[in-house]
A = this chain, B = another copy of it.
Amino acid sequence: MRSITVELGERSYPIHIGSGLLQGIGERCQEAGFPLRSPLLVVSDSEVAPHFLATVESSLQAQGYTVVSHIIPAGEASKSLAVYEEVITTAIQAGLDRSSAVLALGGGVVGDLAGFVAASYMRGIGFLQIPTTILAHDSSVGGKVAVNHPLAKNMIGAFYQPSMVLYDLDTLRTLPPRQISSGLAEVVKHGLILDRDFAYWCRDHAAELLELNVEALGYALERGCAIKAAVIGNDEREHGQRAILNLGHTIGHAIEAVGGYGVFLHGEAIAIGMAGSALLAAKLGKDKSIYEDTVSMLSALALPVRLPAQYGEDELMAAMMHDKKFKEGKMTFIVPDAIGSVSIVNDVQQSSVREVIAQLKKEESPW
């Protein structure tokens, strides 16, 4: 088992990564200080629960805990205030008290929803993350929890740190290949922003990562979590430097918004966005090898780096302007200076972004 600590003063917490961890979750809850007399609530979704919920419940009950579970429909639509209220109702009916905890067993949707329940039930109770996707290595570090409002995503939420993250690599075996690649996009992103060697390591070990080799994947998730933890440790509430984690996300979010959520998976859209950021770097005078190497890394992980022709430049630009409320013709982008190093650039010309989008749609080399 690999363990790292997210250092946030009195809100610090451990991330444990390894095989067979679900079976030991009861002990972990005691270790985290949740008293046996207070009921625990497991939140999971309709795709994850059939595989892993029984194991989690058994381990908790064997330790002596009272457990209640709430299963939400899989998918982003469950990140709503209505589902949130249903989970709160379950918590009240089960008698959760101020010493209780909510366990999020699932991917990003479950983590975000259950996290906001934990953050707000009785003004905040215990919270334990059990991510079951690679992508969730990203969302489970940093304490951003939220539900959506019909008018905008992630509008209602909190910064709320878990007491512990328990990452059982065995839960990843049920993921389809595209989901695996999509999750690895955020892993390699952490290398691209802050760790040159790790970024190249991801390319060189792409085959093992795609096969979910426990040793390689354990190391990759440990590094990914550790890099993210280092960034948020310096900027917990996203006042500044934390923005570097958004490498590829401005273009990526626009692709998701224009194409409709689900056409590209999140990591796929981000991958195209990261290729775009590297093209932008070249426009701003950085070395062209940044783009070449970024593309080789993403391609090795079976991720897209080009945009289908039907994505309109005007629509993508409009989506970006709306997303970030850019003013007066200047846009902010996270731009690589080299592999493993990025800058926040506040005065990117809209015309440059248009050129990048046009280039992302072409098959031939940009130079």
Which residues does A use to contact B, with CB under 8 Å? 81, 85, 88-89, 92-93, 97, 116, 119-124, 144-146, 149, 151-152, 154-159, 237, 325
Contact = CB atoms under 8 A, between A and B. Distances in A.
B81 A325 contact: no
Contact of A158 (B124, B144, B151, B154): B124
B92 A151 contact: yes
Given A81-B81, A325-B97, A92 B158 contact: no
Nearest to A146: B123
Contact of A155 (B88, B146, B149): B88
Contact of A119 (B144, B155, B158): B158
Contacts of A145: 123
Nearest to A145: B123
Contacts of A159: 123-124
Nearest 7 interchain pairs by C-beta: A123-B157, A92-B151, A120-B156, A123-B158, A123-B159, A81-B85, A92-B152
Contacts of A89: 149, 151
Given A85-B81, A158-B158, A151 B93 contact: yes
A149 B81 contact: no
A25 B116 CA distance: 33
Given A81-B81, A97-B325, A120 B151 contact: no
Contacts of A97: 325
Given A93-B151, A151-B93, A325-B97, A120 B88 contact: no
A121 B81 contact: no
Contact of A149 (B92, B116, B157, B158): B92
8 contacts: A88-B149, A89-B151, A92-B151, A92-B155, A120-B157, A120-B158, A122-B157, A123-B145
Instruction: State how many copies of this chain the complex holds.
Output: 2
A324 B156 CA distance: 30
A245 to B, nearest CB: 15
A101 to B, nearest CB: 15
Given A97-B325, A116-B120, A122-B155, 5 more contacts: A81-B81, A92-B152, A121-B155, A123-B154, A124-B159
Contacts of A124: 158-159, 237
Contacts of A149: 85, 88-89, 92
A123 B145 CA distance: 8
Contacts of A92: 149, 151-152, 155
Nearest to A150: B89
A214 to B, nearest CB: 34
Contacts of A237: 123-124
A146 B88 CA distance: 13
A145 B88 CA distance: 17
A68 to B, nearest CB: 15
- Among A88, A155, A158, residue most surrounded by chain B Cβ atoms (within 10 Å): A155
A330 to B, nearest CB: 15
A112 to B, nearest CB: 11
Contacts of A121: 155-156
A149 B123 CA distance: 13
A64 B156 CA distance: 28
A92 B152 CA distance: 8
A85 B152 CA distance: 13
A358 to B, nearest CB: 30
